[in-house]
Amino acid sequence: MPRRVIPAGEADAAARAAAGFVADLAGLAAGLPTDWRSRRAAARRREPAGIVPDLDRLDFSPLHHELSPYIAQREPRQCARYGVSVLEAASLRTWERAVDGRQIALPDLLALGRHLGPGIEIRSHDIFGADQSGARVIRFCDAATAVSRLTAHLESVTETGDDILRLARALFEYVLVNNLHCFKDGNGRLSRILLNHRLDRILGPGDYLPLKEAFLHSRGGYEITLRIVELHRDWTPFVTYMMRLLGLLMAPRVGRAA
């Protein structure tokens, strides 16, 4: 079965789904001190590879899906500092110094991949998703389509618009990177790092959001809503999940004292 390729036009659907969270974003900002951007920047200077700690203290139950009890999940890490986000955070900081604020292109993502280890390079062959038995059940788009779609997307990225629209674009980009699977390996890592980078550009620099570990705490909520986008073209469950997750993680991220 071929995997549906997310078209560029669905960025508008993601934006419409995110529009309902304008009040939530404004409410979060209203509850923060007026100097929260500078406090986050100060936290970054003190701890360049800082990560939001102690996920086990947060309540992830609102992010569970009604199908979560039927899905086998690995146990979440007790603390993000023991997870893959440590490497991702350090790689992002090094890479951001090289990018230096310019618009990101495909070679920049390859450069980011070099910080993560071998194997992150453009694929030239077809890839498949397998079921639990290992049988190939989903065929991803061909390599040429993946490269051209991701290249066109990166060239179209703009930092104009209000924060909620830019967040919606960042979430669309996250899904697109995973959907296209342009690279031989590391697509998930690249998408998480790129989303953190976009959030820093939108909200100002702050601690790294440990998305990999947070997804595990969500007990299938992430995987289910992501597949709903791909199968049914419905962005509302995924955007709702991600906005709630960002709200949960951003409170300690922006609330640290300078």
CATH assignment of the domain containing 176: 1.10.3290
Q: Is residue 5 part of a domain?
A: no
CA 168, CA 16: separation in Å to the nearest integer? Answer: 8
- The reported pLDDT for the residue numbered 48 is 45
Q: What is the DSSP letter of 136?
A: E
- The reported pLDDT for the residue numbered 222 is 94
Q: What is the H or E stretch that residue 128 is in? A: strand 128-130
How many domains does the chain divide into? 1
By mean pLDDT, which of 44-48, 100-104, 149-153, 192-196 is the weakest? 44-48
- The reported pLDDT for the residue numbered 82 is 60
Reported as a single tens digit per residue, the pLDDT across 77-109 is 555 556 788 889 889 988 998 888 889 999 999
Beta carbons of 168 and 14 less than 8 angstroms apart: yes
Angle formed at CA 84 by CA 79 and CA 85, multiple of 5 degrees = 75
What mean pLDDT is predicted for residues 175-187?
94
Q: Is residue 85 part of a domain?
A: yes
What mean pLDDT is predicted for residues 159-177?
90
Q: In the structure, what pLDDT confidence band is assigned to residue 229 with cuts at 50, 70 and 90? A: very high
**What percent of the chain has a predicted confidence (pLDDT) above 90?**
39
Angle formed at CA 194 by CA 190 and CA 198, multiple of 5 degrees = 175
Q: Is residue 3 part of a domain?
A: no
Q: Which residue has the higher pLDDT, 147 or 204?
A: 147
Domain extent, residue 79, equals: 10-254
Q: Is residue 2 part of a domain?
A: no
- The reported pLDDT for the residue numbered 216 is 86
